[in-house]
Amino acid sequence: MSTVRPAILIARAVFPEIEDRLRPFFEIETTPPGVVWTPAQLVDRLQGKVGVLTTGGERIDAGLLAACPGLKIAANLAVGYNNFDLVAMTAAGVLGTNAPDVLTETTADFGFALLMATARRITESEHFLRAGRWKEWSLDLFAGAEVHGSTLGILGMGRIGQAIARRAAHGFRMNVLYHNRSRLAPDREAACKARYVSKDELLRAADHLVLVLPYSAQSHHTIGAAELAQMKPTATLVNIARGGVVDDAALAAALRERRIAAAGLDVFEGEPAVHPDLLTVPNVVLTPHIASATLATRRAMAMLAADNLIGFLVHGKPLTPLNSEVLTP
Ligand code: 8YV
């Protein structure tokens, strides 16, 4: 019996306990903290590997697959998987897995935090205070938009969208509207007290619009100049979905010209680069893709990715497969 263990790459630094979980089963190659492999370096590292633990930052596409014929699985440490070309992966017989559920509530908490910070101008007013510009109290000093009792629009009503809706309806007595590719079952709508509307109605009616839809070629620039023009001038926009869902240049222009009141952004087109115009407008709250970032949740996401590698490569049963058709030859 061969004692050679299959080799895998952990493509971004993870917590030591994740490596410990994988080590009994695999020869693991780790990635030092702060290192992000270029596509060519990734191909290089993947030679002789059957599995890879990726984050949303590593692209698994036809070019990489052709150059890494031994690869059998890419386990994403993220619920979103727009970094995977699933069609190419399926064609190459490579399984993709993601990390759903374990981050839902934490990400919804953050969506709400970003909504609150944006509507109530928390970072803008903190910068003002830190700059020593607070000289007196005045009636409209950083007066923001009402959150409780207002109308919340949610675009993309998956698990995270529903978790945000529950917070809004039950905690903040908001009127919750949503638009999604498909309408929720009546019992789910009732649980989130959310009403299905067209995208146009959502844009026009929302006091606050939160984006939670997956990124794909179809959702590219779902919010561009035309959509921003439909929104209320008092509205806030929150993007915790993916960069590319919003046309960041169009958004920066709308914010500068006060065509909408404010935006809260955790994700950006071309991140970690941020559109320079967004850095110069005051009415935007910017965070570095941290919606799922609590230690407990990031640990759970990484552990699920590790368990997908073990589940598939050791037991033939991944926990959260994306293209399970590759499992049945
Ligand atoms: C990840 C995310 O932290 O899960 C997702 O889809 O956007 C984040 O929670 C990020 O993608 C890193 O993998």
pLDDT in tens, 93-112: 999 999 999 999 999 999 99
3-state secondary structure of 192: helix
**Residue bearing the CA closest to ligand 1, atom 8:** 78
DSSP 6: P
Q: What is the number of the ligand 1 atom nearest to the C-alpha of 54?
A: 13
pTM given for the model: 0.96
**Residue bearing the CA closest to ligand 1, atom 9:** 292
Distance (angstroms) between ligand 1 centre and the Cα of 287 equals 13
Distance (angstroms) between ligand 1 centre and the Cα of 301 equals 9
| Residue 221 annotated as catalytic | no
DSSP string of 85-141?
A: -HHHHHHTT-EEE---STTHHHHHHHHHHHHHHHHTTHHHHHHHHHTT------TTT
* Per-residue confidence (pLDDT) for residue 130, from 0 to 100: 98
Integer CA distances (angstroms), 151 to 143, 173, 187, 202, 222, in order = 18, 9, 21, 10, 20
Q: Give residue-wise pLDDT tens across range 48-66.
A: 999 999 999 999 999 999 9
| Residue 271 annotated as catalytic | yes
Ligand 1, CB cutoff 6 Å, lining residues:
55-56, 77-80, 103, 291-292
Q: Give residue-wise pLDDT tens across range 134-166.
A: 999 999 999 999 999 999 999 999 999 999 999
Percent of the chain residues past pLDDT 90, beyond the cut? 98
* Per-residue confidence (pLDDT) for residue 4, from 0 to 100: 85
Q: Residues spanned by CATH 3.40.50.720 within the chain?
A: 7-101+295-327, 104-286
Tell me which CATH code domain 7-101+295-327 carries: 3.40.50.720
Q: Which of 167, 271, 275, 298 is catalytic?
A: 271
Q: Which of 242, 269, 275, 298 is catalytic?
A: 242
- Sign for the pseudo-dihedral over CA of 230, 180, 96, 318: positive
* Per-residue confidence (pLDDT) for residue 69, from 0 to 100: 97
Can you give 8-64 as a three-state secondary structure string?
A: EEECCCCCHHHHHHHCCCCEEECCCCCCCCCHHHHHHHCCCCCEEEECCCCCECHHH
Q: What is d(CA 118, CA 6) in angstroms, rounded to the nearest whole number?
A: 48
| Residue 242 annotated as catalytic | yes
What order do you get walking across the sheet with 151-155 strand by strand?
Answer: 194-196, 175-179, 151-155, 208-211, 236-239, 262-265, 284-286
**Residue bearing the CA closest to ligand 1, atom 6:** 80
Task: Please give the distance of CA 2 from its chain centroid, rounded to a whole number.
Answer: 41
CATH 3.40.50.720 for domain 104-286, yes or no, is: yes
CB 120 within 8 A of CB 238: no
Q: Residue with structure tokens 């039950």? A: 170
Q: Give residue-wise pLDDT tens across range 172-212.
A: 999 999 999 999 999 999 999 999 999 999 999 999 999 99
Residue 109 identity (one-letter amino acid): D
Q: How confident is the model at residue 328 (pLDDT cuts 50, 70, 90)?
A: low
Ligand 1 pocket mutation, candidates 79, 298, 299, criterion most atoms within 8 A of CB: 79
**Residue bearing the CA closest to ligand 1, atom 1:** 78
Cis, bond preceding 272 (omega within 30 deg of 0): yes
Q: How confident is the model at residue 1 (pLDDT cuts 50, 70, 90)?
A: low
Q: What is the number of the ligand 1 atom nearest to the C-alpha of 293?
A: 3
